[in-house]
Structure 1
Amino acid sequence: MKHRIVVLGAGYTGMMAAHGIARRTKDTDVTLVNPTDVFTERLRQHQVAVGQELAVHRIPDLVKPAGVAFVQGRAARIDAAGRRVILDDGRELIYDYLVYAIGSTTPRVEHAFTIDDPAFAQALRSNAEGVLAVCGAGLTGIEAAAEAAEAYPGLRVLLLSRGEPGSMMGPKARAYLMNTLDRLGVEIRTGVTVARVLPHAVELSGGELVPSDVTLWTTGVVQDRLAADAGLAVDDTGRVVVDAVLRSASHPEVFAIGDAAAIRQAYGTIHGTCQSGIPTGAHTAESITRILRGKGPRPFRFGYIHQPVSLGRKDAVIQFTNPDDTPSRWYLKGRAAIAYKEAVSSSPLKFYRSKTAVPSAFTKRTGGRRNRLVPATPLTNLSKGSAR
């Protein structure tokens, strides 16, 4: 009998897992489930948000070369005891192993858009001479603010945050980031907390009203209730608790990866990024393959290597990091950073279309650590002074 593998979620992480399992195994039926048939390039959402048109990549076309079956639908319930996924239209999928790659979302706030809201681009176009308030100065907020300021020169862009933008970077990379935001005309207010969003203003915790024609909310994370409702062990944020090989702590036939999993390493719990998510998908593909061959799965080991930040279409900054995501002394800026960021952003799609069975474009062994993300295109010929 064929082993039945169901992968929930066709983001970068789920796609990597589905491809890896299908290409490494025989006598398996790998089914990938997603609500839409269009692949979302999460690494480029800030571009879409300001109305830039990107190529459309359909999931069935991306998974067909690997022999993965695609089912368009939304998972309504997981019957963990019966090993079934029930879709919202009543269809059922039976699994021997389930890969839970649902991911996370930004919370919805009344009167505010999120980066993945298709209506946000139209709102910006309609208010190109107005005020955009970006709530949150994490990487999403920074990239969105820079992109909007560059695309709409008449738009006043406010970046509102409790902390300093780029606080996770080293001093030189952070200084370059701040100078670029200043050049683009982005106004930054730190040390503030947003109490609520009104139709045409943002109210701060002290009662001050900041006028805003369009408000973008980029802070906070919400987990889907699907895993918790199925009885899987989850942490206080709703992420699936996993063991060292990324299996559910309560249901070993379920693997949880990417943003959906609470993955512990020696330096702490991994935070959700494509950089960390893609290796979890690749590792899970290897683990399931080993199990089906009668071998034991290996522990997952991961170390960060970079913090890439787009600053519009004409600039970028890359902070290279230690494995625990603290900044190293090296960084890239300007054209070298743009080339690096583009190589990283385009790498997943290149792998999905290839016939390579091993995701070598994304993982390698370095200093005893496995699954450290690296760009598929080697970075060469750096301009003098770009790396510090």
Structure 2
Amino acid sequence: MTDIVILGAGYAGMAAAMQLAARTRRDDDIRVTLVNASDRFTERLRLPLTATGQSVADLRIPTLLEGTGAHFRPGWVTGVDLGARTVSLEDTKIKFDILVYALGAVADTASVPGADEHAFTLNDPVSASLLASRLAGAANVVIGGTGLTGIESAAEIASRFPSLTVTLVGRADPGASMNASARAHLHRALDRLGVRRVRGEITKVLPQGVQLESETLPADLFLWAGGTRVSPLAAGMTTDERGRVVTDASLRSVSHPFVYAVGDAAAVRQPYGIMHGTCQGGMPTGVHAAISILRELRGKQPKPFRFGYYHTPVSLGRHDGVVQFTHGDDSPRRFYLTGRLAAGYKEFVTASPWPTYRRMKRLPASAAIWPHGKRS
């Protein structure tokens, strides 16, 4: 029996699990197990909606895996023993022959004093719902971070709660990576919604405010969207300065080649640099890792992973948005979309994993894989 264990059921981990299970479901000698702390799939792209009290689908991982042959194991991962090839959960251990490390990332509240105690996050539906429950009683909301999560959260909060004072704080202008015309539309939309922008670095989070280098902003609620950190469970492998698993060209750990790292948990180098964490790039890493594992089981060498960015879609409330199309290295092209067309495009992108996963379920099962790469 070859045991393949996937840790983490985000976009990348789910793609790896479904691709592997669908293609090996007729092989009794391969077992695919997906481990995740919760049985609910977190649509990270929709967490700003959850944070403002809007309804989103309640997707359950066992239901998504139905018909694939993958086994779901709920539980918190407490340790990975690379020597013994075991994963520790709270009350048991799971052995593996091949590991797919897809534990993702969470908001880095440890990087700013006071953020752990006073900041809200969008790590999962529970944390997002907690913020939603407090918005109605607030007057000032400050959002730290001018990246996509910060922009979309500011726009959703401002459009759903127009009486609130919403301030977006960051070291860069919102939309700084877009071309001038797309960025101008984004700023006009934030102006229309009444979102105040402040350039600066947050040095401390207080119970009722946010401290910058030169001023303190009042804040009944503070949402941290300014950076992420990964799980420390990869410490036994070669990692980069952020704790992400350093991979070779085929997404294997450079120090432990029986481990594949995907999504936000991996430092994947491309010709333009290290990939940044997005659903756009996460799902392809999961699919590539699955196909590479299948090639290994057949006695073949995995192929290098190649990825180029295509777009940066941003929601600006439910009826507006901006989509910046990009070159492969994520630099902006001249072409972009705005308004309702962009909002519809973003919704299509947000919903696209589900048709993709359904197609994976219908993948043709490989013929049985035998030792030494022989096939029936």
- Partner SS, residue 279 of structure 1: helix
Q: In structure 1, what is the Cα distance between the partners aligned to 2:184 and 2:293?
A: 45
Q: In structure 2, what is the Cα distance between the partners aligned to 1:343 and 1:13?
A: 19
Unaligned 5+ runs, structure 1: 359-388
> Residue type of the partner of 1:357?
L
Q: Give the Å deviation of 1:350.
A: 2.2
Q: What residue number does 1:56 align with?
A: 58
The percentage of aligned residue pairs carrying the same residue is: 51
> Residue type of the partner of 1:151?
R
Equivalent of residue 136 in structure 2, options 125, 146, 152: 125
- Partner SS, residue 36 of structure 1: coil
Q: In structure 1, what is the Cα distance between the partners aligned to 2:227 and 2:242?
A: 11
Alignment coverage as a number of residue pairs: 350
User: Higher relative contact order by CA 8 Å / sep ≥ 6: 1 or 2?
Assistant: 2
Q: Give the Å deviation of 1:177.
A: 0.4
> Residue type of the partner of 1:120?
L
Q: Give the Å deviation of 1:352.
A: 2.4
Equivalent of residue 151 in structure 2, options 114, 127, 142: 142
Question: How big is each residue's C-alpha offset from its partner over 1:253-285, in whole Å with a ceiling of 9 and x where there is no partner?
Answer: 000001101110111110111111110001011
Say which structure is richer in helix.
Answer: 2
- Partner SS, residue 23 of structure 1: helix
Q: What residue number does 2:20 align with?
A: 21
Q: What residue number does 2:41 align with?
A: 39
Q: What residue number does 1:98 align with?
A: 99
Q: Give the Å deviation of 1:188.
A: 0.8
2:204 is the alignment partner of 1:196 = yes
> Residue type of the partner of 1:338?
A
Equivalent of residue 153 in structure 1, options 153, 162, 180: 162
2:371 is the alignment partner of 1:341 = no
- Per mean C-alpha deviation after superposition, the further-off stretch among 110-119 and 53-62 is 110-119
Q: In structure 2, what is the Cα distance between the partners aligned to 1:66 and 1:351?
A: 14
Q: What residue number does 1:383 align with?
A: none
Q: What residue number does 1:356 align with?
A: 362
Q: In structure 2, what is the Cα distance between the partners aligned to 1:64 and 1:232?
A: 33
Q: In structure 1, what is the Cα distance between the partners aligned to 2:265 and 2:321?
A: 29
Q: Would the aligned equivalents of 1:201 and 1:213 in 2 still touch at CA under 8 Å?
A: yes
Q: Give the Å deviation of 1:347.
A: 1.2
Q: Would the aligned equivalents of 1:63 and 1:352 in 2 still touch at CA under 8 Å?
A: no
Q: Give the Å deviation of 1:53.
A: 1.5
Q: Give the Å deviation of 1:320.
A: 0.3
Q: In structure 2, what is the Cα distance between the partners aligned to 1:338 and 1:181?
A: 15
Unaligned 5+ runs, structure 2: 110-114, 365-376
Q: What residue number does 1:303 align with?
A: 308
Equivalent of residue 245 in structure 1, options 244, 247, 250: 250
> Residue type of the partner of 2:23?
R
Q: In structure 2, what is the Cα distance between the partners aligned to 1:297 and 1:24?
A: 16
TM-score normalised to structure 2 length: 0.91
> Residue type of the partner of 1:291?
E
Q: What residue number does 2:271 align with?
A: 266
Q: What residue number does 1:66 align with?
A: 68
Q: What residue number does 2:370 align with?
A: none
2:327 is the alignment partner of 1:318 = no
Q: In structure 2, what is the Cα distance between the partners aligned to 1:135 and 1:338?
A: 24
Q: In structure 2, what is the Cα distance between the partners aligned to 1:65 and 1:175?
A: 47
> Residue type of the partner of 2:184?
A
Q: Would the aligned equivalents of 1:276 and 1:304 in 2 still touch at CA under 8 Å?
A: yes
Q: In structure 1, what is the Cα distance between the partners aligned to 2:343 and 2:228?
A: 28
- Per mean C-alpha deviation after superposition, the further-off stretch among 248-257 and 109-118 is 109-118
Q: What residue number does 1:185 align with?
A: 194
Q: In structure 1, what is the Cα distance between the partners aligned to 2:230 and 2:99?
A: 18
TM-score normalised to structure 1 length: 0.88
Equivalent of residue 296 in structure 2, options 291, 297, 320: 291
**Structure 1 vs Structure 2 CA RMSD:** 1.1
Q: In structure 2, what is the Cα distance between the partners aligned to 1:351 and 1:323?
A: 22
Q: What residue number does 1:12 align with?
A: 11
Q: What residue number does 2:86 align with?
A: 84
